[in-house]
Structure 1
Amino acid sequence: MESFLVAFSNAAWGLPLLFLLMGGGFFFMFYSGFLPFRHLGHAINVLRGKYDDPNDPGDINHFEALSSALAATVGMGNISGVAVAIATGGPGVLFWMWVSAFVGMATKFFTCSLAIMYRGRDTNGHVEGGPMYVVTEGLGKKWKPLAAFFAIAGLFGTLPIFQANQLTQVLREVVLVPSGIATTNPFYWNLGIGLSLVFITSLVIFGGIQRIGQVAGKMVPSMVVLYMLAVFYIMFVNYTNIPGAFAMIFEDAFSARAVLGGAVGAIIIAGARRAAFSNEAGIGTASMMHGAAKTDEPIREGLVAMLGPFIDTLIVCTLTGLAIILTGAWQTSDGNGVLMTVTAFNLAMPGIGSYVLVICVVIFAFTSLFSYSYYGTKCFSFLFGAKYKHYYNYFYVLTIVFGATASITAVISLIDGMYAMMAIPTMVSALILSPKVMKAARDYFERMKDFKEELKVKD
């Protein structure tokens, strides 16, 4: 099974998908005239709630929508995913993650604007957003097979198995084994940790999107700040290595001499693959979360959504990558996931580094575990009806046990492959409907300009 999943993942992440994601992102960037980037300040004002209207349709406000989306994206992909990327592609892979993040900001502006623009209703009549509704409402009912394709892939692509796998690994190797616990029968200890995760996750996810949004809104800012402070300390104690680290990143990005036999194309794919896993730009998951935002202005939500890849990849993933490169952990660690990051923290903070990381990992993993369930229930609801969507959560929590006991190779290959499948409907529909977004953007910013001029007259 593991070899099948690896083959499926590698086949899915070929050059055609790279062209669709990266090429599509560059198209959005230039087609928009860099519009999202030019209105970064306005995006922050929207996020702060300056334009919130409690009477607008939707379930959560802009801040909760971004926090919930970040709760899913700023997770184990930022800690373990970056380590996997560097183990696979060397330090240069970080450069291609940065490139993917920049084009991902433009991609999220378009895909999440469309998630509001073409919201549909589930079988209970509740307003819903996401790529499956963008396809059916924006492209028409004849495109429904493409929407169903996304929803089927989403049932498996949003499973919590990677988070469960890496959280179990770090708890066992960093906390239990050094304490003389779990030194034998690792499968049963993994099973026990997995069942504990099932219990804690169930307490939150069965409360619905409002509870997920509230929990994420409280946990995400604190977890990002804590992790940033820890890595800033690592950078401080290794400050003399910082210029060399950046030089290595840029040099290896175009030579890939350290790994992959010098295959630059392979290192670009590795960077795009891990960036997509981390910030999910073009995959469609964030569109489902932002589609629940309380707003009737699609462009506002698109602007808020584009902040996701900036925070997730350009800040958090970069910090992880620098910690691993500055300490030399990418060359000395035997692990290719969270244990490589553990090695980096231990090298910089002997005795306490691993425990600091455990705190971050626990918060990162749980926020992802909470948020991913929402994506799966939306896909299940689209396929089988809203009244049955709660059944997906039972399947969801049971797969946590599978993730806790399976190998990281099998787990990450399954998620990678399904992410690739989800990207096809998301990007195809966004590319076709991109003129609609630009028309709405021109109208929106013209109205905002008139609104500001009216305020000046009144003053």
Structure 2
Amino acid sequence: MSLFHMIDQTLQAFAKFVWGPPLLVLLVGGGLALLIYSRGRPYRHLGHSVGLLSGRYDDPNDPGQVNHSQALSTALSGTLGLGNIAGVAIAITVGGPGAIFWMWVTALVGVATKFYTATLAVMFRGRDATGELQGGPMYVIREGLGKRWMPMAVLFAVAGLCGMLPVFQSNQTTQLLRESFAEPLGWVAPGGSFAFDFAIGSLIAIASAYVIAGRIQRIGKFSARVVPGMVVFYLGMTLVVIAIFWEQVPEAFALIFSDALSGQAIAGGTLGTVISVGVSQGAFSNEAGIGTESLAHGAAKTREPVREGVVAMLGPIVDTLAICTCTALVILLTGAWQQGEDVAGVTLTAQAFSQVFGQFGPILLLIMVLPLAFSTIVTCWYYGMKCYVFLFRGRWQGLYTGLYMLLIIVGAVASLSTVNSIIIGMYAVMAIPTMVSTLLLAKHVNRAAHDYFSRMGLTEKEKAAEISQ
């Protein structure tokens, strides 16, 4: 057995271990507890998020770095993209169609989770080593729970440094470029080319360095311009496929529901395998309860923490309930998922689109993937840098950025299995301090929410008016 194979198997075992029953209970059960504790308040005020995103409540003098719209776009840019495309394909490949049901579960309870985590991210912002106001689970823990909980804050920051690596995005972007263009055009032989992967990884790293130089302000503006258009474009593609196979849509949904409790994972295993794969990929997709969303929403310009919580609730709805569901339907309706385990990740999704759009399928997918994957890479740098500054007090920031650029290239030439295990495993570790601190501080959010909505006087009629605008 080679060293690389041993490392790959070790990382897979680690990811499987940390995504065991205790974490599933904490993430899904914790989200359900927050939903019940809030008495469904987050869901009753979704209409208010439209008014907040319109900018009518923005005040440039409020503390923070970006407005509500840019904060949400930054958070979505960290979730939308290959997590919705390759992540869904991996979930179906490993866990079967039933894994999609458990991805939905993470989104439904994730609406409440994001309301609490994003509100806390603004409520308990703290100063970093440079004196700048920052939000995120590590600051929530330090400012909200006190110094005796600092080990938990450090745990999140360390896991964040590893979980925010750009390796998955660069890996799958390179794979799509290679298999959709380089191999058909004869530029590289089937099976991959180190030189081609290295070159693509290098180009992505150079482009990322330019956007990263502008920090969160440039990242926020870039995300606000790219994310909405790409979401609409991708939804349009998937709706064309769904329209063609519309008669089979009920059967596809029935397959998802029937397999959700069957325990018949494609890769073998029990019901636990199906649930674990679905929840882990759902968490990777919408990041509810992981804590990364707090890093973005904590930078919002506002003096009202609840406002950012209301805005953050849209994340799981757009990301998982809309985008991931559409991807899953495309894969199931076209029958691409039955091609076997040899076809996985973004390649599976590309082949599904090819069955409808022919040779233009991967091209259309690439048009959507490139900007979103790129936006995710630069957003993850921002997340990772916040963790780095918290741990090392801002020293040697250039070293972290340089290492991050190098890892973009490493991800491009690494194997999908290894890359996926690292990221999924670290996401699980990040969820522990995030969910524990959120549950402990939830009472503060409830009090703030009651006060805020009472002052705002948001009636059902007013919410309906905001939705219609």
What is the Cα deviation at residue 369 of structure 1?
Answer: 0.9
Match of 2:352 among 344, 348, 365: 344
From 204, 210, 214, the counterpart of 1:207 = 214
Write the distance in 1 (CA, Å) between the matches of 2:297 and 2:125.
Answer: 11
Q: Give the corresponding residue for 2:26.
A: 20
Rounded Cα–Cα distance in structure 2 between residues aligned with 1:237 and 1:301: 39
- Structure 1 gaps of 5+ residues are 454-459
Please name the residue that 1:406 is paired with. 414
Counterpart selection for 2:152 from 146, 156, 164: 146
**Residue pair 1:378, 1:389 contacting (<8 A) in 2 also:** no
In the TM superposition, what whole-angstrom CA distance separates every residue of 1:130-183 from its partner, at most 9, and x where no partner exists?
Answer: 000000000001111111111011111001100000000000010111111122
The alignment's TM-score, normalised by the length of structure 2, stands at 0.94
Q: Which residue of 1 aligns with 2:310?
A: 303
| Shift, 1:389, TM fit | 3.2
Q: Does 1:75 align with 2:65?
A: no
Amino acid at match of 2:57: Y
For the pair 1:377 / 2:398, whether they are aligned, the reply is no
Q: Contact 1:114/1:298 (CA < 8 Å) preserved in 2? A: yes
Deviation of 1:363 after TM superposition, in Å, equals 1.8
| Aligned position for 2:285 | 278
Q: CA deviation at 1:359?
A: 1.1
Of 301, 317, 326, the residue aligned with 2:324 is: 317
Distance 2:28 2:153 in 1: 22
Match of 1:257 in 2: 264
Q: Which amino acid aligns with 2:344?
A: N
Q: Measured at CA, do residues 268 and 209 of structure 1 come closer, stay the same or move farther in structure 2, by a change above 3 Å? A: same
Query: 2:124 aligns to what?
Result: 118
Taking only aligned residues, the RMSD between alpha carbons, in angstroms, comes to 1.6
Unaligned runs of 5+ in 2: 1-6, 462-469
Letter of the structure 2 residue corresponding to residue 223 of structure 1: M
- Which of the numbers 194, 197, 216 marks the counterpart of 1:190? 197
Kindly state the Cα deviation for residue 33 of structure 1 after the two structures are TM-superposed. 0.5
Match of 2:17 in 1: 11
1:389 maps to 2:397: yes
Give secondary structure in 1 for the equivalent of 2:281.
Answer: helix
Cα deviation for residue 452 of structure 1 reads 12
CA contact (8 A) 1:118 1:138 kept: yes
Q: What secondary structure sits across from 2:160 in the alignment?
A: helix
Give the distance between the partners of 2:309 and 2:396, measured in 1 at CA. 30
Q: How many residues align?
A: 453
Q: CA deviation at 1:432?
A: 0.3
- Equivalent runs, 1:428-443 vs 2, <5 Å: 428-443=436-451
Query: Among 108, 111, 119, which residue is 2:114 paired with?
Result: 108
Q: Which residue of 1 aligns with 2:274?
A: 267
Q: Secondary structure at the match of 1:386?
A: coil
Counterpart amino acid of 1:266?
T
SS at match of 1:73: coil
1:199-238 deviation digits (Å, cap 9, x = unpaired): 1111111211000001000000111011001001111111
- Match of residue 364 from structure 1: 372
TM-score, with structure 1 as normaliser: 0.96
Shift of 1:286: 0.7
1:96 and 2:102 aligned: yes
Provide the C-alpha distance between the structure 2 equivalents of 1:429 and 1:136, rounded to a whole number of angstroms.
Answer: 10
Q: How far has the Cα of 1:75 moved from its partner?
A: 1.5
Q: Equivalent residue for 1:445? A: 453
Structure 1 distance, partners of 2:50, 2:458, is 20
